[in-house]
Structure 1
């Protein structure tokens, strides 16, 4: 059954046929990461909306980026999204490290294919997944006439967090504060991911809920393992910075 959000990561397309992350044996083996603390104090969400990077302390982002190897501009988005969720949906308990784990799995934090995140959040060059024509992936015919993914025959995952077009139409949001909603903008994509994880899992401090949220994002068991491993590693590295 097709999920409301189906993200097919560039790095694990071959795993699409693997066991679900909800498999009982997998649940016993998977160590679920705790939400990593945000220090020092962060800023509240205000109107007018100025974007995720304004919510997080830039010095913290720089130190954490240096400790983890995550690009500083990506850290501003991950940390800002965690602050946003803590303000707007505090019962979700989403950690920046979970978002960073997903960002690593999907596109190496926007740097796959020698890409980079510009100061305004735009990822260049744009990231497009392969055609979802059923050969090595789920079969997903075109849903947007190529408007989002440039392919009028098959859908493709788009942007640093790899949304398919109809999922972006449902969950796309302005995370950068520029008034636009763009899957190639790192802030927009990270905030859309954060909102979806909270929707899919509820309270992500509960192990089963965290697993459910990741499985809703991508249901390949090795994907959940990878997200958890990176999230735990990043949290440990940040704690020593």
Structure 2
């Protein structure tokens, strides 16, 4: 007899909507494609011991007297006085292997902290870079999944929603999809997946990054399955899921 499917996959289109979700029995996947979640996935895969997400620049500065790499981004740019921000090119193996990074970003790290506050079963980090490894792992779990789009200052973002739709596509045969936002994200991804990079040229975040002359970051973050590592939040640190 086939087991009745009770797991659901939902999409939260903005952190502002997170209070509407009961996360205690759900796995949350935090999504900030441009660029925090992509850089975190890349850094953990490249051997960073851990990445500590913090809310504010001042929180990050508290670690300055210790042997940490400090990374701070606001409005797409590196905060003055910090080693680097959230470009994936800062998270290469030669820069991060064996190191612990303290990271604050405009959107992504706040979403991670909110998920922890809501006592999610687990908090994972998702990106196009690890989408297959992430989706396969989720399919093997017995918990519902909430895909949390970090957005831009609590507003809807195309790139995060497209990724959520791509994950829904991979999970929809194994999970119940009865969430309007999940259906919308999936439909949007279906519309865009023929050429995601071209579709996202209209996104506001792409325009912001292009003005900073970091189009290469956009191209990098839209690559599929570059890594097979999944960052997971353990206590206050993101580490590689064992």
Normalization by structure 2: what TM-score? 0.32
RCO greater where, 1 or 2, for CA within 8 Å and sep 6 or more? 2
- The answer to which structure has the higher strand fraction is 2
Higher percent of residues as helix = 1
